[in-house]
Amino acid sequence: MALEADIDLFAQVPALRLLGADALRILAISAEAKMLRDGDVLFHEGEEADAGYVVESGALSLQRGRGANMRETAVARRGALLGETVLLVETVWPGTATALEPSRVLRIPRGVFLRMLEGEPEGARKLRARLAAQLQHTIGEIDALRPRFETEDDERDGEARR
């Protein structure tokens, strides 16, 4: 019964839902449950990341910065995927995740995820399209902000290159 519950949970995660039922079953079989107490840190900013996490229950605070400069950027609750990029490439955690209450997460190792994608080309294609759309959206947001940060020197440099 727990396996079916994990599959159902993964099906609620937008990035994972794209992969299809067989892929979700593989991920659910391979996922490792991890219990966190209130205040436990799941990962620290700057640490090497080797797995993604799906929040099954509870809540985690996602923070950036260190010490007095630390600020909360989001709260992850049931169905949140932490580390979508981590599942695909070697990287470090861009922030710290701390349990706000007793929580349970399911750990998906990168190697398992990548092997699963090899056997699910249609799911891999859909995931790639989703990531490409997200990147295009982010680039658009950055382009929209560019005029707010350009200086007169930037404008002269741009004209000189033309």
Arithmetic mean of pLDDT, 109-119: 92
CATH code assigned at 64 = 2.60.120.10
What's the pTM? 0.80
Token pair for residue 8?
A: 């159902």
Six-digit token string for 23: 């892929």
Mean pLDDT of 133-160: 73
Q: Distance between CA atoms of 19 and 23, rounded to whole angstroms?
A: 6
Tell me how many domains the chain contains. 1
Domain range holding 101?
A: 2-161
In three-state form (DSSP H/G/I as H, E/B as E, the rest C), the secondary structure along 36-55 is ECCCCEEECCCCEECEEEEE
Residue 157 pLDDT > 90, yes or no? no
- 97-107 burial, b for 16+ CB within 10 Å, e for fewer? bbbbeebebbb
pLDDT value of residue 120: 85
The pLDDT tens digits for 21-76 are 999 999 999 999 999 999 999 999 999 999 999 999 999 999 998 777 878 889 99
